[in-house]
């Protein structure tokens, strides 16, 4: 891989310790041979397994109520219907299969909200590979259902106690493991982040989303969309949904970040009450790549915040950062309240309960539909079953226009009431 292929403009690169370089070089070679050149039919097997195990292709659904509401044709790309309930399996399955082709015997992964760990544990069980998942202790407490799911699929969970015990520390710990075990082990990174070749490779595995959606929209609507929306944490569903539209100059691409409770930053506390690294971040290096980061004026990485755990990350993929600088992608953001309202609206109007991450994209649609043209695709990156407890709690705290009346649950929990 030439240095140019490791970068996206000024972003990306391979900022890793010397001890990791052999692993990065071996992976780069495998990515080029198996993914780019389809050696030994790797991509054919990947596609077949995405179909049989994952359930692809997935529908592009016309959303009738939303189309009426906004007087705009709205289509939903239904990644929530992928096995596991989110787009994550596209990447996890691709990387675990690649590890097999490379002759590796063990998988390590990191997880924050637990969605990527769950997808990796599923893919590893499916392909009969032992799997160890690093997870911050705080996140283990916050994300119990996903911890269960990983254990049930046979994964080992290793708690990470450094720092705040969340995703950032879990990634660092997984990289340390990998540096000492590279001969036998592949690190399945969870988004379009990390050193090259990860951002390109993860994008390629996820780009099945836009490959299908581009075909489907031409079939169903007879033309390309005016706008495509996807939520952005690390940016893997975003890049996957955008990839085949990037060269279609008339198609607007909107990466919707978590605006959290505010875009203002408390420097003293080292906290950003949002996860809007594309909209508000500055250049810096994190987890092996140069990208846009939430950092203070001394270059310290700040804690991020979002009501949705899957968007709660201080960095973002380098390719997305580059496309925003090039003005090919619009970086926009939506706050916690608006995401929660969108969650309820999509559930009530369309019968689709979205992940809280996904709900941010629908919050943007609600606020800006009149700027998005007549034909819009929104990626439904995942389903919301994992978020129901959080939604209940967060909805109770607020005075939202569209929330259902939950008093029946309160009454039942109190032991009496009107059930
Ligand atoms: C993990 C996750 C995200 C955020 O990750 P990206 O890499 O930005 O896609 C978004 N939606 C869902 C449902 C997720 O599980």
Q: Which residue has the higher pLDDT, 165 or 56?
A: 56
User: What is the predicted pLDDT for the residue at 419?
Assistant: 43
Task: Note the maximum CA span of the chain.
Answer: 68
CA 391 to chain centre: 19
pLDDT at 168: 87
Q: Which of 304, 311, 361 to mutate to test the pocket of ligand 1 (most atoms within 8 A of CB)?
A: 311
- CA torsion 241-243-245-247 (nearest 10°) is 170
Among 302, 325, 322, residue whose Cα is nearest residue 312: 302
User: Could you tell me which residue, 157 or 399, shows the higher pLDDT?
Assistant: 157
* SS3 category, 107: strand
Cα dihedral value 319, 285, 306, 273, nearest 10: -130
Kindly state the average pLDDT of the residues 393-402. 90
In whole angstroms, how large is the CA radius of gyration of the chain? 20
Give nearest CA residue, ligand 1 atom 4: 233
User: Whole-number mean pLDDT of the chain?
Assistant: 94
Residue 411 pLDDT greater than 90, yes or no: no
The mean pLDDT value for 400-415 works out to 80
User: Which of 381, 385, 386 gets mutated to test ligand 1 (max ligand atoms within 8 A of its CB)?
Assistant: 381
pLDDT of residue 266: 78
95 pLDDT higher than 50:
yes
**What residue's CA is closest to ligand 1, atom 5?**
233
Determine which of 15-19, 118-122, 190-194, 331-335 has the lowest per-residue pLDDT on average. 15-19
- The lowest-confidence range among 63-72, 129-138, 159-168, 200-209 is 159-168
Q: What is the rounded average pLDDT of the residues 233-238?
A: 97
Ligand 1 center–CA 358 separation, angstroms: 8
What is the average pLDDT across 215-242? 98
Q: Is the pLDDT assigned to residue 142 strictly greater than 90?
A: no
Active site annotation includes 350: no
Instruction: Check residue 265 and give its pLDDT.
Output: 82
107-127: average pLDDT: 97
| CB-based contact 238:255 (threshold 8 Å) | yes
Q: Which atom of ligand 1 is nearest to the CA of 190?
A: 7
Residues touching ligand 1 (Cβ under 6 Å) are: 86, 88, 115, 191, 231-238, 310-311, 355, 357-358, 381-382
Q: Of the residues 79, 110, 341, 394, which is catalytic? A: 110
| pLDDT number for residue 418 | 46
**What pLDDT does residue 417 have?**
46
How many other CB atoms are there within 10 angstroms of residue 324's CB atom?
21
Q: Which of 73, 77, 79, 88 is catalytic?
A: 88
Q: Which of 73, 381, 386, 394 is catalytic?
A: 381
Q: Is 381 a catalytic residue?
A: yes
The answer, yes or no, to whether residue 401 has pLDDT greater than 80, is yes
Residues 6+ apart with CB under 8 A from 269: none
Which pLDDT band holds residue 229 (cuts at 50, 70, 90)? very high
Q: What band does 313 get if pLDDT is binned at 50, 70 and 90?
A: confident
pLDDT for res 415: 56
Distance CA 206, CA 209 (A): 6
pLDDT at 34: 98
| pLDDT for residue 410 is more than 80 | no
Domains of the chain, start order: 7-53+88-202 (3.40.50.1100), 57-84+207-397 (3.40.50.1100)
Predicted local distance difference test score (pLDDT) of residue 1: 56
- What is the residue with the minimal CA distance to atom 10 of ligand 1? 357
Residue 333 and residue 306 in contact, taking contact as beta carbons nearer than 8 Å: no
For residue 328 the two structure tokens come to 């090919």
Once rounded to an integer, what is the mean pLDDT over residues 44-64? Answer: 98
Average pLDDT over residues 360-376: 98
């Amino acid at each position: 891989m030439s240095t140019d292929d490791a970068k996206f403009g000024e972003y990306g690169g391979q900022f890793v310790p010397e001890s990791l370089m052999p692993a990065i070089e071996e992976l780069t070679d495998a990515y080029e041979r198996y993914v780019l050149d389809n050696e030994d039919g790797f991509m054919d097997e990947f596609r077949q397994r995405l179909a049989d195990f994952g359930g692809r292709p997935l529908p592009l659904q016309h959303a009738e109520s939303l189309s009426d509401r906004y007087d705009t044709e709205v289509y939903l790309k239904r990644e929530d219907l992928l096995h596991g309930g989110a787009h994550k399996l596209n990447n996890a399955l691709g990387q675990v299969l690649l590890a097999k082709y490379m002759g590796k015997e063990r998988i390590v992964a990191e997880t924050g909200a637990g969605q990527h760990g769950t997808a990796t544990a599923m893919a590893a069980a499916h392909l009969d590979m032992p799997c160890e998942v690093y997870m911050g202790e705080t996140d283990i407490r916050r994300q119990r259902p996903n911890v269960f799911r990983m254990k049930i699929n046979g994964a080992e969970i290793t708690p990470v106690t450094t720092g705040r015990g969340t995703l950032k520390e879990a990634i660092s710990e997984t990289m340390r493991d990998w540096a000492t075990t590279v001969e036998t082990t592949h690190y399945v990174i969870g988004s379009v982040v990390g050193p090259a070749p990860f951002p390109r490779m993860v994008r390629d595995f996820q780009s099945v989303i836009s490959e299908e959606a581009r075909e489907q929209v031409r079939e169903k609507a007879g033309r390309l969309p005016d706008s495509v929306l996807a939520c952005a944490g690390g940016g893997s569903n975003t890049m996957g949904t955008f990839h085949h539209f990037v060269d279609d100059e008339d198609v607007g691409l909107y990466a919707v970040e978590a605006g959290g409770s505010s875009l203002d930053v408390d420097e003293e506390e080292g906290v950003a009450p949002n996860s809007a690294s594309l909209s508000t971040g500055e250049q810096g290096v994190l987890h092996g790549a140069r990208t846009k980061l939430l950092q203070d004026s001394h270059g310290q990485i700040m804690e991020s915040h979002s009501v949705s755990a899957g968007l709660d990350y201080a960095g973002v993929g380098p390719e997305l950062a580059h496309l925003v600088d090039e003005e090919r992608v619009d970086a926009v953001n939506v706050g916690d309240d608006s995401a929660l309202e969108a969650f309820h609206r999509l559930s009530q109007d369309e019968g689709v309960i979205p992940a809280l991450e996904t709900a941010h994209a629908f919050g943007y649609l609600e606020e800006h539909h009149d700027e998005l043209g007549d034909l819009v695709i929104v990626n439904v990156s995942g389903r919301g079953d994992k978020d129901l407890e959080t939604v209940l709690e967060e909805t109770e705290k607020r005075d939202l226009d569209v929330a259902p009346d939950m008093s029946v649950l309160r009454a039942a929990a109190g032991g009496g009431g009107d059930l």
